[in-house]
Amino acid sequence: GPLPEPLDGHTLYVDGSPLNIIEVKQADVHPTTIVHIPEIDTVIAGDSIYNEIYPMLGLSTPAEWQDWLDTIDVVEKLQPKMIVCGHRRPDGDDYAVETMIAQTRSYIQDFIAAFPTAKDADDLVATMSAKYPNHANLWTLQFSAINAIAARDGA
Name 135's Cβ contacts closer than 8 Å, sequence gap at least 6: 52, 53, 54, 107, 129, 141
Q: Yes or no: say if 113 and 72 are a contact pair by the CB < 8 Å rule.
A: no
User: Based on the structure, what is the number of domains in the chain?
Assistant: 1
Residue 61 lies in a domain: yes
Q: Give the whole-angstrom CA distance, residue 2 versus residue 130.
A: 49
Residue 41 lies in a domain: yes
Q: Give the whole-angstrom CA distance, residue 94 versus residue 45.
A: 11
Q: Which structural domain range is residue 135 located in?
A: 11-153
Residue 122 lies in a domain: yes
Q: Domain containing 65 — which CATH number?
A: 3.60.15.10
Digit-coded pLDDT (tens) for 43-83: 999 999 999 999 999 999 988 999 999 999 999 999 999 99
Cα separation values, 115 from 57, 81, 110, 149, Å: 11, 33, 9, 7
Digit-coded pLDDT (tens) for 80-137: 999 999 999 989 999 999 999 999 999 999 999 999 999 999 999 999 999 999 999 9
What is the model's pTM?
0.93
Query: Going by DSSP bridges, is the β-strand pair 42-51/17-24 parallel, antiparallel, or unpaired?
Result: unpaired
